[in-house]
Structures are given as C-alpha cells and as structure tokens.
Amino acid sequence: MGRLHTEEYTAPATQALTNEECVICMEQFRIAESFTRLPCDPRHVFHTDCISTWLSRSDRCPMCKAEITKSSLVDMIAIRS
C-alpha cells in the first residue's frame, strides 16, 4: 500500500477523532503515539502499525468499509503537506 501519513497523538480535546481508541486493537491512543487518518473520514484514525497491517489484507476502512486506494492515500498526503 505504500508509506502512510502519520500524526502524533497529543490530547483528546485537541484532535477531532471519532473515538479515543484504535478500533482494530481496541487500545486507547497514548500521548506522543503515532496514528494514521484515512481519507474516507478524517475522524477515522488508527495506530499506524494496526492500519498498515489491516490495509495489507483489505482495501476497506475498518469503520465505514469505504474503499481505500493507493491514489486516495497519496492525495490525502498531498493535501496534508
């Protein structure tokens, strides 16, 4: 799938997240931990390692089942840069 754009988790109130835990591993995000947003919804965030593994097996968002393509990830990285 290629390299994913990552961000650093700071605090719940400072980031618009759907949830405060990764829905893949069910663990809460911790301060300074890296996470990745998917292009289907900027609130769909996951631990970077978790979503990398997920996307190596599936091309769908674990939350909304939207198709995640390599080009959509590239477009999202370009917008965030």
Query: Cβ–Cβ contacts within 10 Å for residue 74, how many?
Result: 14
Question: What's the domain count of the chain?
Answer: 1
Query: Cβ–Cβ contacts within 10 Å for residue 33, how many?
Result: 16
The answer to whether residue 62 sits within a structural domain is yes
Residue 81: pLDDT above 70?
A: no
The answer to whether residue 23 sits within a structural domain is yes
CATH number at residue 63: 3.30.40.10
The answer to whether residue 21 sits within a structural domain is yes
The C-alpha atoms of residue 55 and residue 69 are separated, in whole angstroms, by: 10
Q: Is 80 helix (H, G, I), strand (E, B) or coil?
A: helix
pLDDT value, residue 21: 87
pLDDT, average across residues 4-30: 77
The answer to whether residue 2 sits within a structural domain is no
The first and second tokens of residue 52, run together, are 């990398």
Higher confidence at residue 35 or residue 80?
35
Domain extent for 23:
7-80
pLDDT value, residue 64: 96
The first and second tokens of residue 20, run together, are 């405060």
